[in-house]
Amino acid sequence: MADRQTDSPLPTQLSGAAMPVTMTYAKALAAAIRVAMQEDPRVFMAGEDIGVYGGAFGMSDGLLAEFGPERIIDTPISEDLGVGLGVGAAIMGQRPVIEIQFSDFILNAMDPLINQAAKLHFMYGGNVTVPLIVRGPAGGGTGAAAQHSQSLEALVAHIPGLKVVMPATGQDVHDLFLTALADPDPVVFFEHKLLYKTEHQVQVRSAIGDSPAKLGEAAIRRDGTDVTVIAYSIMVPRALEAAERVAESGISVQVVDLRTLRPLDTQTIIESVSSTGRLVTVQEAPLPVSVGSEVAAVVASSRALDHLLAPIIRVGGRDNPMPYAKALEHATIPQVDDIVAGIRQALKD
């Protein structure tokens, strides 16, 4: 079982909070879930161990007592059942949030997710919507080995009809969850395990509609003029640290946080690379057939190509299943040093 969160519980009433407060990434997401459930009786959660236990990572801690077993539903150990339940509920007008205890096991729910949730709106001529969130912890770095440490975002982002979100900050995980909940389409919402305990300043929204975040809108986390680094999820703070490090030698890095992988903010990508003339993509996932590959293709097929001063550099995980051994896991996942090396390589030409 995963290491659950231990910081202080959220207050049961969150509406009206105006000033940012310090909370972990996990609590920022939990706060968004509570805001949504307080506002909209159609919102419910279902997943393995989310009720009495409070979720493997503590995301639903306290919600069973507050909202009851009809809205916090413990499912059997069957992701296929959980997502299938969500699809059926969504097309009947509910707003289900289905937790996959480890995002790796979304693979067990490919039929209801890909063949049903992603397609029903189109197959029924626009007369059906599937407002479903399927969410869970992604990525490695916790010693959980090959079957509990994958980065499968490119796989689901490939599917027409699905939207994919991977927030890097506490404010974004809070806001983008609320935005995803209001969306009429199915959204796959991945949170990196190593981000859960990171602390952030978060303004808790009082209602679902208060979220200013938009799907398909990237954020520039750091301005720069020499090279663009495009990252998402856990690689955003690592890219920012790498940018700080190379700044000591006079290199100015613009860091772009994609935030959502589908829809992809191609305009921000093109504008950033056009302004700097160099591009480094950064991801934890292996490089072949990946998000970084798509970003590179966007640049190569746009006006940004005319501004490139050097070949595109891609930084990503090694092309192997995640090892259990700590040293091998560390070597598989890109670290700050790897991003620094990628930046310096982009500036050689």
Which of the residues 121, 148, 174, 200 is marked catalytic? 148
Token digits for 232? Answer: 């998402």
Q: In what order do the strands lie in the sheet with 279-286?
A: 219-222, 253-257, 227-231, 279-286, 313-317
Dist. CA 307–CA 294, nearest whole Å:
18
Please confirm, yes or no, whether 191 is among the known catalytic residues: no
Please confirm, yes or no, whether 200 is among the known catalytic residues: no
Helix (H) or strand (E) holding 329: helix 326-332
Token digits for 119? Answer: 């397609």
Dist. CA 34–CA 13, nearest whole Å:
8
Strands 279-286 and 227-231: parallel
Which of the residues 39, 48, 79, 284 is marked catalytic? 79
Dist. CA 130–CA 277, nearest whole Å:
41
Dist. CA 40–CA 95, nearest whole Å:
9
Dist. CA 221–CA 255, nearest whole Å:
5
Dist. CA 159–CA 312, nearest whole Å:
26
Dist. CA 221–CA 168, nearest whole Å:
11
Residue positions annotated with a catalytic role:
79, 148
